[in-house]
Structure 1
Amino acid sequence: MIQEVAPRVPASLGAYREGVAAGPGGPGATPLVALRDPAVFDATLAAFEAGLGVPAGAADRRALVSYWSQFYLAPLATPVLTALVRLGRPLPLAFATTSLELDAAGRPARFLVQPDEAGPPCRSAGLSGLVEDHLRPFVELCRAQCGIAPRVIWGNAAVILDYVARELGEPETMACPEVATCLGWCGGPACARSPLAQALCAAGGGRRRRTCCLRQRLPGVPSCGALCPLKEGRECCGAAGA
């Protein structure tokens, strides 16, 4: 089923059309669970830092992990939501069985999953399956490796998934109630329980982060513009804590 996703990705998201592939990958593929080893995670982060041209060890570690997570989430979100919205099926992307490939600049580029027939069943269907089986372990990984507040990474995930869903088309996404609920488009108790919905708030006819992503702390990296809560004079509360 994975090969059916790419042709259904809109042109505006074409850079991430091949963000998920089936198979073991090459020798450079890293199982996601291996990133729980501080040495493996630090080596992965160091490659990303070098690709940014930042002197080793000069960057705020929490800001660096947050920015790295944005590159991680982008190639994940496009195939996932395309499969859910346009094919009505989840991809087998459990954190425990997925691997990651980096590009030449050390950025997360492609996720490698078990073939459809070998993939483990999700504990829950739809976008909530990705939340429970992949995003929660990923958020915990980032917290464990640098002490970053989980709400910062949830905010990164929410912004990217919300953007991809809108590029796929709001009518199409709204036709998938579970996806729309997870993203907070519908309101009600189910939306209130979604960590993705909780990470964004309405602002100026659009949506904005509730918590700063910290990326502007990195040399040469701009803020996320209108999405940034600091633009409205809100206190940045994402550096530490729950």
Structure 2
Amino acid sequence: MIPDRAAHIPDVAAHVPASLGTYRDGVALGTDGPATTPLVALRDPAVFDATLAAFEAGLGIGPNTVDRRALVSYWSQFYLAPLATPVMTALVRLGRPLPLAFATTSLELDADGRPARFLVRPAAPDGARAGLTGLVEDHLRPFVELCRAQCGIAPRVIWGNAAVILDYVARELGEPETMARPEVATCLGWRGGTACALSPLAQALCDRRRRTCCLRQRVPGVCSCGPLCPLERCRR
């Protein structure tokens, strides 16, 4: 359990479909407390290592026994899951972004050391960008750089994790609803054009389908993505 120091965002939570209910409260309004970590603090190697060690312990894996890049990639999938559902629900069904700039957001972990909830300030900071592009530039790009800096993982792997999860959530919300938000659809590569070609999410989805593996099968006890894995498709 995570401490109840935050309040969910009622209008967003109410529009989350049942299929995504696990992460209905993945973003909440709240303030930092003893069990929260400002995302910017993860740039400190000691803080990041402690966070990763808690995740590793929750998986029942001994310390320093796994390819660090694979572990960070798998951790990022847990990080991105509670982020994606509220973000995409707010964008697709309510037409508004959530104030999730990396610089002003904090993270709570669950009892197993997994990322569980993001705490945000009630209002977006000045200069915050709107739409899914705002999430890409103000949150995901710093997050991808954080992972690269802490373990040397190729950025395309983390971008791929983000793109696959966001794309999945968008499809659960409904293709007609997502296509009705042109900026979101373009950023995900559902629409063509210059903006689509420049979107790291659209490019990552293309790369993942072709060749980029998320490395999760290198973590003991964790299965691969099966037929969804590009490496599996290449072996056929």
Number of matched pairs: 228
CA shift, 1:25, in A, is 4.3
Q: Could you list the runs of 5+ residues in structure 1 that have no partner in the other structure? A: 235-242
Equivalence map 1:210-221=2 (5 Å): 210-221=211-222
* AA at the equivalent of 2:154: A
1:219-240, Cα deviation, whole Å (9 max, x unpaired): 1111112321101217xxxxxx
CA shift, 1:123, in A, is 3.8
- Partner of residue 230, structure 1: 231
1-structure distance, mates of 2:211, 2:103: 29
- Partner of residue 89, structure 1: 96
Q: Which of 186, 194, 200 is 1:189 aligned to?
A: 194
* AA at the equivalent of 2:215: L
* AA at the equivalent of 1:179: V
* AA at the equivalent of 2:103: A
Aligned-pair identity (%)? 83
- Partner of residue 120, structure 1: 125
- Partner of residue 149, structure 2: 144
- Partner of residue 200, structure 1: 205
2-structure distance, mates of 1:190, 1:123: 19
Matching of residue 71 in structure 1 with residue 78 in structure 2:
yes
Give runs of ≥4 in structure 1 deviating > 3 Å.
Answer: none
* AA at the equivalent of 1:10: P
Q: Which has the higher helix share?
A: 2
Q: Which of 10, 17, 20 is 2:17 aligned to?
A: 10
Structure 1 residues 68, 167: CA separation in 2 closer, same or farther (over 3 Å shift)? same
Structure 1 counterpart SS, 2:185: helix
CA shift, 1:115, in A, is 1.2
TM normalised by structure 2 equals 0.93
2-structure distance, mates of 1:210, 1:164: 22
Q: Could you list the runs of 5+ residues in structure 2 that have no partner in the other structure? A: 1-7
